[in-house]
Amino acid sequence: MTEPTALSLSVEDGIAVLTFDLPGESVNKFSPAVIEEFTGYLALLERDQAVRAAVLISGKPGTFIAGADIDQFLAFRSADDAAQASAFGHTMMRRIETGRVPLVVAVEGACLGGGLEFALAAGYRLAVDTPKTVFSLPEIKLGLIPGAGGTQRLPRRIGVQAALDMILTGKNVRAKKAKQLGLIDEIVHPSLLREVAIRRARELAEGKIPRIRETRRRTTMSRALDDTAVGRAIVLRQARQLAMKKSGGNYPAIPAAIDAVRSAFAGSESAGYATEARLFGQLAMSSVCKELMFLFYATTALKKDAGVPEGTVVAKVDRIAVVGSGFMGAGIAAVSAQQGIPVRFKDTALERVAAGLASVRDVLREGLTRKHITRREYEDRVGLVSGTASYTGFGRILLVIEAVFEDLGVKHTVVRELEQVLPADAVLATNTSTIPIARIAEASARPERVIGMHFFSPVHKMPLLEVVVTPKTAPEVTATAVEFGRRIGKTVIVVNDAPGFYVNRILAPYIAEAGRLLDEGVRVEAIDRAMRAFGFPVGPFTLIDEVGLDIAGKSGAIMAEAFGDRIRSSEALARVVAAGRLGRKGGKGFYGYDEKGKRTGV
């Protein structure tokens, strides 16, 4: 029996249409076998004189090409192995770029990594404007740089500034922005994608569209920066300074990416590609890359683990309620609305509800300001969140998340009130960061329906969600909480109801040791500076100020009670808490802050 192939070919009046649909996979990706198949088809098209142009289109809804199958990176035994793989990619892309048969790529869905590098080599790029259609070079997140020509073609296509922004961040670019940048040539309606792609391929073959052309709208300043050696030098230098400041020099892929982009303009074309291959090879063998690869695989595996036996029933949650309109409650409501989920927002007074709704709008407005969403999308999402000072509307809610003050008595009151109005099969989740879930569930007539959903602050930026289970928590309750967390884009871990849960349990020794150093006379800023140099995004005292000293103090007390001298409280930390310093939110903690929350000193 013949093995199913990734590519299928049809020819319509001299225009070949290649459909990429990798069997047995949810996304299209490049593996050695797929690349070999592509190479064979390219040779076939070159030989067939009846074929004048070609179109590549995906057979998978929501994905064009997701990039390389990174399993192949694990097979590299040396930097030379990786560099040779990069060089082979260069050869394939060069063949697409300069071959007799011009190629049009018709993009619907994610066009990532090697998929975007493939598109950059094509003669014409068109795409649909759907939420799943995004363009990115995410290799930097694996400690790598693009290895199939991305550092060479992208800056020539969209300019050095825009290219560095994409390469150094790995961020997604939506279709409209891609068109503005010159990354793609045209946006079409999804129903017309194939038809228009074939038409453009025919126009390429007839010479009506040149294969090399300027597609960007550029200002005089951007021309000066992108098209002159002096301008590019300024951009590259500033990019290095900013990136190194943010990374602390702990991320070798950043300077390598900048060097690779510089090589695109520093000498011959072949020298630029050779530089990219060499740097890709070096990075592929680095310890940073290997650790980030491990993190990628672990995160991927986590997405498949619901924390409960397979087949456990998951409640169909089509709306939620959030009790508590403070910073955390507003964040939970906002990220839910971002995913199109209606939210009933409750607090004890309408004034508090109004303040919470304003906070929700502030979070959602960030997407509008950054042009990630349209004005209509913003208004639709804002409209999904309704407020109340009573429990009206709770009778149909199957998931409620309480985010009230960290006081056991207050939480017990909320639990009792909720169980009077919620359906019997509703899930009651608590966002507590310090109180054991079993203690909160003591107030419940249905403790098997109570679970912890510990979000981190700020909710719309922090990806982790701890789902905390007690021995009494029903499996379907756990499964429902996990499914909802993933639905709103969180990285979900299921943990037992133990002191500190998971994150605070591993964070506590770090904070405790920082406190001991402070007790011994080491300066706050010296400790923070040392930990940033080691690789932490912020130091321990900056972190405490951000979380709030009141919350950190409660968490520390719980950990000290559980583990004794192993997590002994710091005397200096206790004095700061006793002095009424709350951190950034109160204007003073270990550091001082102005009325806008900007740090003013120690």
User: What residues are annotated to the active site?
Assistant: 466
| CB crowding 287-319: b at 16 or more within 10 Å, else e | ebbeebbeeeeeeeeeeeebbbeeebebbebee
CA distances (Å), origin 324, targets 395, 422, 533: 18, 16, 38
Strands (E), 473-540: 491-496
Instruction: Give yes or no for a contact between 13 and 201, defined as CB atoms under 8 angstroms apart.
Output: no
Beta-carbon neighbour count of residue 523 at 10 Å?
12
Structure tokens at 187: 């946006």
Tell me which amino acid residue 306 is: A
**Can you tell me the distance from the alpha carbon of 34 to that of 23, in angstroms, rounded to the nearest whole number?**
11
- Peptide bond before residue 458 is cis, with ω within 30 degrees of 0: yes
Instruction: Give yes or no for a contact between 289 and 144, defined as CB atoms under 8 angstroms apart.
Output: yes
Would you state the torsion angle of the CA atoms of residues 516, 522, 528, 534, taken in this order, to the nearest 10 degrees?
A: -80
Q: Please give the DSSP secondary-structure letter assigned to residue 423.
A: -
Residue (of 117, 101, 16, 142) closest to 65 by Cα position = 117
**Beta-carbon contacts of residue 237 (< 8 Å; ≥ 6 apart):** none
218 Cα distance to chain centroid: 29
Helix, strand, or coil (residue 108): coil
Would you state the torsion angle of the CA atoms of residues 571, 512, 583, 347, taken in this order, to the nearest 10 degrees?
A: -110
